[in-house]
């Protein structure tokens, strides 16, 4: 890797970005799966409200999220006071704070593909499994998961990629600390501001390549799954 023209700070930013995206994606899969399941199954009148709330980060400017997080997680905000009371310190300018921001920011990208996958499930499959006395968890792991793997794949890839591309929120609550909150998008911004264009080019090029590979692999996997389906039927 030494032959690549990245500075140590660039590498730190790349590593941090990968850690942040992986962490946020994991948390989102754990939280988002039951949420998406509930959205797909419920007949509650709350459903449209919850669905709208989940989709909010799609249309809100990141600065809105950044501003509220800064106020809420700050020493005068209730989240900030709670974290301080619990001895966790304060969230802004920390990896934990960035994780909270990323989870909120990438929520729709994980929940929506899962929601769609769960909605598309054949209800008779679930009923058949239930009549065979499979427990709810068993039904989930042996019937639902295999059938919605495409949804999980899309949720994982999109959640990860979207977190990698985060910028506005990070700018507002991150504090730009090398190795702690300075992610790749921030590092590119710094390079541009200090007029180190060649460094900016390399990192930006890396991001372009990453985005292209992600989207290409998604399409290829979709095709592969389609082929599998066609062979099976």
Partner 1 sequence: MKLFKQTLLTAAIAFSTASAWAEDVTIAAASDLKFALEDIKTAYVTAHPDDNVKITFGSSGKLSTQIEQGAPFDLFFSADIKYPKQLAAAKQAASEVKPYALGRIVLWSNTHDASQLTLESLKEEQFKHIAIADPSHAPYGKRAEEALTASKLWDTLKPKLVYGENIAQTAQFIESGNADIGIIALALALNPELSKQGGHYLIDDALHEPLEQAFILTTHGKDNTAAQRFAEYMQHPAARKIMVKYGFVLPGEAADTIATADKTATTGAQ
Residues in contact with partner 1 by CB under 8 A are 70-71, 73-76, 89-90, 92-93, 171, 175-177, 189-190, 192-195
DSSP 178-212: TTTT--HHHHHHHHHHTT-HHHHHHHHHHHHHHHH
State the DSSP code for 142: I
Nearer to partner 1, 84 or 223 (CB): 84
Q: At 201, list the tokens.
A: 């080019």
Least distance to partner 1 from the beta carbon of 16, Å?
A: 15
Nearer to partner 1, 92 or 108 (CB): 92
Least distance to partner 1 from the beta carbon of 59, Å?
A: 25
Least distance to partner 1 from the beta carbon of 190, Å?
A: 6
Number of H helices, E strands in the chain: 12, 0
Nearer to partner 1, 116 or 176 (CB): 176
Sign, CA dihedral 106-62-51-73, equals positive
Least distance to partner 1 from the beta carbon of 70, Å?
A: 6
Least distance to partner 1 from the beta carbon of 2, Å?
A: 24
Give dist(CA 14, CA 99) in Å, integer.
16
Nearest to 173 by CA among 47, 72, 41: 72
Judge contact between 73 and 83, C-beta under 8 A.
yes
Nearer to partner 1, 74 or 165 (CB): 74
Least distance to partner 1 from the beta carbon of 194, Å?
A: 4
Judge contact between 214 and 161, C-beta under 8 A.
yes
Give dist(CA 145, CA 29) in Å, integer.
12
Nearer to partner 1, 89 or 205 (CB): 89
Give dist(CA 229, CA 189) in Å, integer.
45
Nearer to partner 1, 108 or 174 (CB): 174
């Amino acid at each position: 890797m030494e032959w690549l023209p990245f500075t140590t700070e660039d590498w730190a930013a790349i590593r941090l970005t990968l850690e942040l995206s992986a962490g946020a994606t994991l948390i989102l899969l754990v939280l988002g799966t039951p949420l998406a399941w509930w959205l797909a199954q419920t007949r509650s009148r709350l459903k449209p409200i919850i669905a709208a709330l989940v989709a909010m980060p799609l249309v809100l400017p990141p600065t809105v999220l950044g501003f509220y997080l800064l106020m809420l997680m700050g020493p005068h905000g209730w989240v900030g006071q709670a974290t301080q009371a619990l001895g966790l310190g304060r969230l802004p300018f920390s990896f934990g704070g960035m994780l909270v921001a990323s989870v909120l920011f990438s929520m729709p990208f994980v929940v929506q593909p899962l929601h769609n996958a769960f909605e598309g499930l054949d209800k008779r499959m679930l009923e058949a499994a239930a009549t065979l006395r499979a427990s709810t968890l068993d039904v989930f792991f042996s019937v639902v998961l295999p059938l919605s793997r495409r949804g999980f794949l899309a949720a994982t890839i999109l959640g990860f990629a979207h977190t990698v591309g985060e910028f506005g929120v990070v700018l507002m609550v991150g504090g730009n600390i090398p190795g702690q909150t300075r992610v790749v998008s921030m590092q590119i911004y710094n390079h541009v501001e200090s007029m180190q264009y060649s460094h900016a080019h390399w990192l930006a090029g890396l991001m372009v390549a990453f985005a292209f590979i992600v989207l290409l692999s998604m399409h290829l996997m979709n095709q592969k799954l389609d082929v599998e389906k066609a062979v099976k039927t």
